[in-house]
Amino acid sequence: MTVSQPREPIPGVEPGPLVGLEPTSVATASTLPSHRWGFGAFLLVEAILLASAVFVVALLGPAPAGQPIPVRDVLVGTMAPTMVAALVALLITKVRGNGPVVDLRLQWRWDDVKVGLKFGVLGLVVTTIGAYVWTNVVGAADSNSAISSLVEDQKMSVAAAIAMFAYLWLLGPICEEIIYRGLLWGAVERLQWGEDKWGRLAAFMLSTAVFAASHLEPLRTTLLLVISVPIGLARLRTGRLLGSVVAHQMNNFLPAVAILLTSVGVASY
């Protein structure tokens, strides 16, 4: 049964009816202007992300033993590769598409924030349970993320710790969502599917799997899959990127606080 619902129009986009699983207040993939980028754009951005990470690691070299990690290493070594990749993704939508607002569904709506908060809370519950089970299965030492292990081995300066906290909680999720549930999601939806809902489900499943694998932490991939599901559901439910960004930020908040306190010596894992 097809049910038409009122929704706010996107500039230059003719609204269409909502069908089945289609999110409320969002134009379908078939009613939006087409773009000329696809999986090649995503693979390019992934290559830039990996190449940037390798380059900055070689550029910075190992931190001096016994000294706190400086803020430069956090800004350049941790933040820069993801930020550069996200900026390239945005540029691709401008050059070969209709810009991030249309192509990546990157719009500000309070309703999306509320949905993101709900799925973010769900994500915190799922992450807490999943981390507890995973720690008991593989052991505490093998369950830590790469950043957690780094902080455990070497303290940070206060400025570096604050920069890392801001990145993990706020900036990192924005950049990662642009890449995975923005660019990759849009590449999947661009394919010709029989019904829009199947394109969205395929985008949800593929972006969830690729997001987990892209962290290059084989032991934690299963846990990352569990963590990624509520974030992807926020994107699936709203049809836009803001919901998944907020859910991702919510999911990262407590781990970011833990790393902040650990990195300055207030707490320990």
132 or 201, greater pLDDT:
201
pLDDT by residue (tens digit) across 200-225?
899 999 999 999 999 887 877 888 89
* Residues sharing a CB contact under 8 Å with residue 187, sequence separation 6 or more, in sequence order: 37, 38, 39, 41, 42
In the numeric block, the tokens 């690691």 are attached to 57
Whether 229 and 246 have beta carbons less than 8 Å apart is answered as no
Question: Tokens 């289609």 label which residue?
Answer: 22
What pLDDT digit, counting tens, does each position of 59-92 carry? 777 666 667 777 787 888 889 999 999 999 999 9
- Categorize the per-residue pLDDT at 152 as very low, low, confident or very high, splitting at 50, 70 and 90: low
Report the alpha-carbon distance of residue 6 to residue 105 in Å, rounded: 18
